[in-house]
Structure 1
């Protein structure tokens, strides 16, 4: 199996998505990939227990990708060995009436993980510079002062949103949240194959929506918007990772390895130790329990 190195997928210079691979099998078969993921998953589960007890860092893991890129199944498989008290997954859909009454970051802010916990965002605050940029008419439902028509949504509007998002993530990092952002990079051909499987397999039918076909017409627009968002907002303390996702098993393995390897770099994360006062009286506590 090829060695997985975070820097091979991290965006630390401008990228062109059309030039990046959407397929990578790590020179491994399905069984080898499954075994590697299981090993990394167990290590992540143990590390999560330590971080929960440590209680100093929160971890926010963000997933973005085109429809059928594998976000749901990746989240299910990568975090399978986590203690459920230490991880919370949020899937962001179309904003509700209440959410539209607040600023666009509010619904994400109130679902941020507490210290010691992992938060997983299935679709994220970046929807507000992706879907809304491809369909700027959606911005009108936010009732923003000065935005009365689509013509009012100028390039300066998107520039300001990018800056707001960068400041939002910088604030999180400075207050103890470790931020990972993954773009699941899917080819248009593979998306077609996955949509066809949704139609052909009864157990997958519920996932299909005609809206998927409508959004597919905007493929090039989405690729352009993703590319710009990734390039503008990838930062050393909140980087983007572009993950080849035509092979689901490989993409899960890559994501799990990156999360584990990056978290292991934090040498100040350790299990808390008992205070000296408690340690001095361990024998006394033991006797009390034994004589209970």
Structure 2
């Protein structure tokens, strides 16, 4: 086994470990950290970048070799050479003076720049790296880059989809909580209205009962002495003055007193009913 074969055997073993770690990533940030910690075992680079563009946003992952700072996925616009890649889809290889990295790293990083275009579904990727002359990136490593991107983007899209679903589930849960809260409020209002209706129904029954009893007073208690008075008046023509005085007037007086008493009872009861109903009526 020559030195190149041994090198790529080690590289593929490293890639196998990288692939296993990628599969265990729980979110996109963890995925970026796995990428950062394993790249140095796969090929030579000073700077490595993945730019991901889709319908709604564009993000990038920027890895500096031997950096102690954890890498992050950030929202950004494409660099100049990436715009060329997105337009023409043709791989690039040229010496960079480092100005392209100055925009995102605040420092120039010159060297050989390699860049490739990939498309996965609705996502477009620009993958690029800068290597030094001391530790150059070689053409044979392009195959490793292709394998790396296949593994990375598959997991990345899976995690993004999961995050979107989790976000939608949270929104649905929040909407469900609002609906349940409104349902509870509506149920409370319905119960209150039912209680009000029951109270009004009970009040109406009491009013109807009282009115029925007052009506009965009018129909019987008042009507009976009034009928006697009318009857006495009707037969008074058949009595003499003496008979009227000794017989009819006594009965007429008694009936008038009964009528007066009955009317007072009706008036008193009606007044009490009006006062009671007025106090119970809603303001």
Q: What TM-score range do you get, normalising by the shorter chain? A: under 0.3
Give the TM-score normalised by the residue count of structure 1: 0.23
Structure richer in helix, relative to its length: 2
With CA pairs under 8 Å and 6+ residues apart, which has the higher RCO, 1 or 2? Answer: 1
Give the TM-score normalised by the residue count of structure 2: 0.23
Larger radius of gyration: 2
